[in-house]
Amino acid sequence: MLKEGFWDEMDSWPRARLDRYWTRRIRRVLDVAYNSLPFYQRRFQQVGFSPSQFRSLDDLRRLPVTERGELLNALKQAGRYPIGIERGHEEVVLCVSSGTEGDVIFLSFPRQWADMERQATLRAHWWAGLRPGGPILISAPAWHIYALGQNLLARALPAQAVIVWGTYSPEFASHVLQAIRAFSPQFLGLFLPFVFSLVAEARRRGLGPSQAFQGVKNLMVVGAPITPALRRHLQELTGVERVVEAAGSSEGLLAVECEVGQGLHLVPEKSVVEVLDAATYDPIPAGQQGAVVITNTWPWGPLYIRYATGDLGVMYPGECPCGRPSPRIKVMGRRSHLLRVGQRSFLPYDVQQAMEEAVGLVGATFAVLWEGLAKGCLHLLVQEEGIDARAVRSRLKKALEDYLDVPVKVEWAPSLPMRWKGVPPVIRREEMGGR
């Protein structure tokens, strides 16, 4: 008998069994990499490593960490996409990895990959509260790997699939809103900023925010970490009982919160994750923030082996009270989004948390002015729409200065420029448009 919320027997394995499963799978990945992928063959040889030496997960430390920049350089030098981290296949699904930092990497997934991906996607959504019965809303059929995941899900479950045309760009909020109201899904997976686009669209139509989420019992948000206060705010705003955070990337990270809501469990079919010292890639204790490094546990398509995703995150110490053996992580933000103010540095998540804890301002949309950072000041541009600015206007600057211990300037803006991944964390004055 499976425990409520568990997807299969694997969810109740002891941790040692999961480690053995991962060790076996990674050993196979390393064999494939060593024997047929030139990029890795060279790198393994450089450090004198052969897959036969891989006996436990700790042996991963013998392998070099690869950064995104190294892959991009290899692409540029080769002048073509296959750079020796992928196996050749006749028929593949092409997927784009995050291009938010300027350069895009394409990933090609062959048929065999789809079975694993389906299994992983089902498990992830089950953990997040999806159950058969209601319709499945494919809310962004063009939103990189999550579009593929939603598709596999709809085909795997005996459920009505509703495909909404668009992406998570705010202009498509009307499509998604209409679909929610017409088909009443009980489960929704959305890009976090898009929740606010839906609320804004509901208000434009004269509806209350909770009417936009009528009938939804589980809301899974991806794309940005949520603070405890933001989770409560989202629950109150949308009227949805359970708000679950998930994190994923085309390269193979997939992690989802369980019912306990303290950290995101890694989905074992996809990748093993290490959080390492961001400067040296040495091991660090659980609970400390560092670079997120993934190793794929399936041997098809492009293989990411000890790949630094460009994210910063923390690993949770100990085992989760829910009983799932899979380690828990929280991705705190992109490394490139670190805001340096004098000697200190923050992620947008830290600023968000500071606003909540210092003055109780929750769910504010904000960005940091680039020109401010250049002068050693955290110059915040806070969007007025949807928040009661009067209540915090006079206190915010001082409270944030006390909390963050850096000079702060607060500027209220009627609106902030949107990109396809939401409001960018840092904006230059010229991007503010006519101001």
Nearest to Zn ion of 321, 417 (CB atom)? 321
Shortest distance, position 254 Cβ to Zn ion, whole Å: 15
Nearest to Zn ion of 144, 265 (CB atom)? 265
Contact stretch for Zn ion (CB under 5 A) within 84-92, 103-111, 253-261, 379-387: 253-261
Residue 273 forms beta bridges with which residues?
A: 294
Contact stretch for Zn ion (CB under 5 A) within 122-130, 272-280, 312-320, 355-363: 312-320
Nearest to Zn ion of 260, 389 (CB atom)? 260
DSSP symbol at 204: H
Contact stretch for Zn ion (CB under 5 A) within 42-50, 84-92, 163-171, 258-266: 258-266
Shortest distance, position 127 Cβ to Zn ion, whole Å: 8
Shortest distance, position 98 Cβ to Zn ion, whole Å: 27
User: 375-390 as b/e, with b when 16 or more CB fall inside 10 Å?
Assistant: eebbbbbbbbeebebe
Q: Please report, as residue ranges, which positions from 142 to 201 form the binding site for Zn ion (by CB under 5 A).
A: none
Residue with tokens 């006749």: 90
Shortest distance, position 159 Cβ to Zn ion, whole Å: 25
396: contact with Zn ion by CB under 5 A? no
Nearest to Zn ion of 26, 320 (CB atom)? 320
312: contact with Zn ion by CB under 5 A? no
Nearest Cα to Cα of residue 127 among 299, 2, 304, 313: 2
Contact stretch for Zn ion (CB under 5 A) within 158-166, 280-288, 313-321, 342-350: 313-321
Residue with tokens 């009227």: 239
Q: Is 159 helix (H, G, I), strand (E, B) or coil?
A: coil
Handedness of CA 152, 259, 143, 182 (dihedral sign): positive
User: How far, in Å, CA of 175 to CA of 198, rounded?
Assistant: 10
User: How far, in Å, CA of 36 to CA of 147, rounded?
Assistant: 30
Nearest to Zn ion of 156, 260 (CB atom)? 260
Alpha-carbon separation of residue 37 from 44, 59, 339 (angstroms): 11, 20, 37
Nearest to Zn ion of 136, 322 (CB atom)? 322
The set of long-range contacts for 204-213, using a CB threshold of 8 Å and a minimum separation of 24, is 205/177, 209/237, 209/238, 209/239, 210/237, 210/238, 210/239, 211/181, 212/177, 212/180, 212/181, 212/238, 213/180, 213/188, 213/238, 213/239, 213/240
Residue 264 forms beta bridges with which residues?
A: 257, 329
Q: Please report, as residue ranges, which positions from 318 to 357 form the binding site for Zn ion (by CB under 5 A).
A: 320, 322, 324
Shortest distance, position 322 Cβ to Zn ion, whole Å: 3
Shortest distance, position 104 Cβ to Zn ion, whole Å: 34
Residue with tokens 């030139």: 38
Shortest distance, position 120 Cβ to Zn ion, whole Å: 17
Shortest distance, position 15 Cβ to Zn ion, whole Å: 12
Nearest to Zn ion of 133, 321 (CB atom)? 321
260: contact with Zn ion by CB under 5 A? yes
DSSP symbol at 426: E
CA terminus-to-terminus distance, the chain = 62
Shortest distance, position 130 Cβ to Zn ion, whole Å: 17
Contact stretch for Zn ion (CB under 5 A) within 16-24, 156-164, 316-324, 358-366: 316-324
258: contact with Zn ion by CB under 5 A? yes
Nearest Cα to Cα of residue 92 among 118, 71, 113, 74: 113
Nearest to Zn ion of 180, 256 (CB atom)? 256
The two beta strands, 307-315 and 328-334, are: antiparallel
Shortest distance, position 316 Cβ to Zn ion, whole Å: 9
Number of residues that bind Zn ion (CB under 5 A): 5
Residue 345 forms beta bridges with which residues?
A: 340
Nearest to Zn ion of 92, 128 (CB atom)? 128
Nearest to Zn ion of 320, 382 (CB atom)? 320
CB of 171 within 8 A of CB of 201? no
Shortest distance, position 265 Cβ to Zn ion, whole Å: 6
Nearest to Zn ion of 265, 379 (CB atom)? 265
Shortest distance, position 170 Cβ to Zn ion, whole Å: 33
Contact stretch for Zn ion (CB under 5 A) within 60-68, 69-77, 201-209, 252-260: 252-260
212: contact with Zn ion by CB under 5 A? no
Secondary structure (H, E, C), 34-54: HHHCHHHHHHHHHCCCCHHHC
Nearest to Zn ion of 139, 271 (CB atom)? 271
User: How far, in Å, CA of 413 to CA of 247, rounded?
Assistant: 30
Extract the tokens encoding 392: 């915090």
Residues that bind Zn ion (CB under 5 A): 258, 260, 320, 322, 324
